[in-house]
Amino acid sequence: MTRELDAAAPVPVGAAAAAASVDAAAAASVEAVAGSPVRRKGLRRLAVVATVAGPGLVAANAGNDAAGIATYASAGSQFAYGTLFFMVLVTVALVMVQEMAVRLGAYTGKGLGALIREQFSLRLTALAVCCLLLANTGLVVSEFAGIGAAFELLGVPKWAVIPPAAILLWSLVLFGSYRWAERIFLIMSLAFFTYPVAMILGHPHWGQVGSHLVIPHMEGGKAFILLAVALIGTTVSPYMQFYAAAGVVDRGAKPEDYPLIRADAVLGAVFACVISLTIIIATASAIGGAGPLTSAAEAAKALEPVAGQSAELLFALGLIGASALAGAVVPLSASYAVGEAAGVERSVSRSFRDAPLFLGLFTAQIALGAVVALTPVNVIQLLIGTQVLQGLISPVVLVYLLVLTNRRSLLGPAANSPRHRVAATTVVVGVAAMSTVLLVQTVLGWSGLA
């Protein structure tokens, strides 16, 4: 990574500024290697990707897991293109949240869990970490269930693939360095390119797609509100912020690396949300208005009438890559959070002897997730339960994140500007309000009142 960057003052947050800093850093990287100015745009673009890709891209892509695929596909099935503009708003929220998380990691050299422990009371820290650990454990189960469901689409029973997948993911983290593991995670992200292919095969109505992307469309019905909350919950998940900040620290990034770190977070969030949009569009073009789906497998089968057997194969491949990526990132985020809160060694690059709590917790989550996924567990009910927990802790984590990035005593000139405070507060209040709706509707549903 090129570190000859101007760190005199933080660059204003924003996609335009991020793109400018990325271009400058990429050009510097290419010139350093070739000893001459950039001669071809293709080489420059390759340098951009190689230089920028990191924790932000990995964390954002992990959000497109089995639960996310089912949620996005259900959005297309229920409301066709009606949720596209809402997803544009969610994309803006994810960009801001992920940028704040990696900025904390780059400028403080500490993960989100460690900063919460230092800046807030021990009780509040324990509450946030325990809720995150509980919710993440349920998500790990769903990721392995997603791997099993994807291979079942290809005719392979889940008992034949879940144990080897668990061992492979466990070995990846336990016996590799962070740099090596990050490269593997980025390779897994390539599986998401299957969804744009599935979208094109679905032959969507591009005029309607374009209008729904730029023209607000909201419905007041309970189904639309709950789906909107689910889209927020599966896109802006708390574990992503913990992983993004910790990943920056584990990577060894410094304040002078912030322009590239920020670009990674911004572009990673945008890429992940673009993939989410392609899933919605692909399903909408096939069975828009047909009602909710209950699994990613149903989404794959739904595309068969327009894309043939290739759609099922594409969705299966994407689901395998997405579930495998999240199956490693989700337990890592909880291990980072607990290790940071406890003040002990936590790094993928450490051995089991050096970081027993960090790697032991990761091992326990992988083992529990794989074992439970092999049982006849009701995955849909499991996902509902974990979404409720995510909805409960998401506003808490975002409030911590906002308060920390507002503190000039912690970040100095890198703290949120007044304008950024207003925008970030709006995002946090909006997510908290939608999460509250989810919790209220869920409790009323349990009690038979809704």
The answer to whether the beta carbons of residues 367 and 166 sit under 8 Å apart is: yes
pLDDT at res. 173: 75
Domains of the chain: 9-52 (no CATH), 55-446 (1.20.1740.10)
**Please, what's the b/e burial string for 55-64 (b: 16 or more CB within 10 A of its CB; e: otherwise)?**
bbbbbbbbbb
What pLDDT score was predicted for residue 381?
62
pLDDT of 368 strictly over 80: yes
pTM to 2 decimal places: 0.75
DSSP classification of residue 205:
-
The pLDDT tens digits of the residues spanning 300-311 come to 666 665 555 566
Give the DSSP letter string of 82-140. TTHHHHHHHHHHHHHHHHHHHHHHHHHS--HHHHHHHHS-HHHHHHHHHHHHHHHHHHH
Q: Is the pLDDT of residue 25 over 50?
A: no
Q: Which stretch, 3-12, 236-245, 322-331, 411-420, has highest mean pLDDT?
A: 411-420
The whole-number average pLDDT for the span 324-333 is: 81
If pLDDT is split at 50, 70 and 90, which confidence band does 218 have?
confident
Q: Supply the pLDDT for residue 237.
A: 80
Residue 164 backbone phi and psi in degrees, to 5: -60, -35
- Amino acid of residue 229: V
Reduced to 3 states, what is the DSSP secondary structure of residue 195?
A: helix
For the four alpha carbons of 327, 331, 332 and 334, in that order, the dihedral sign comes to positive
Per-residue pLDDT tens over the stretch 123-167: 888 877 877 777 787 788 878 887 887 787 777 888 888 999 889
User: What is the greatest pairwise CA distance in the chain?
Assistant: 70
Of the ranges 22-31, 165-174, 335-344, 437-446, which one carries the lowest mean pLDDT score?
A: 22-31
| CA distances, 281 to each of 66, 300, 301, 311 (Å) | 17, 13, 15, 13
- Residue 19's pLDDT band, with cuts at 50, 70 and 90, is very low
In whole angstroms, what is the distance from residue 431 CA to residue 427 CA?
6
> pLDDT (tens digit, 9 = 90+) per residue, 272-309?
889 889 889 988 887 777 777 766 566 666 666 555 55
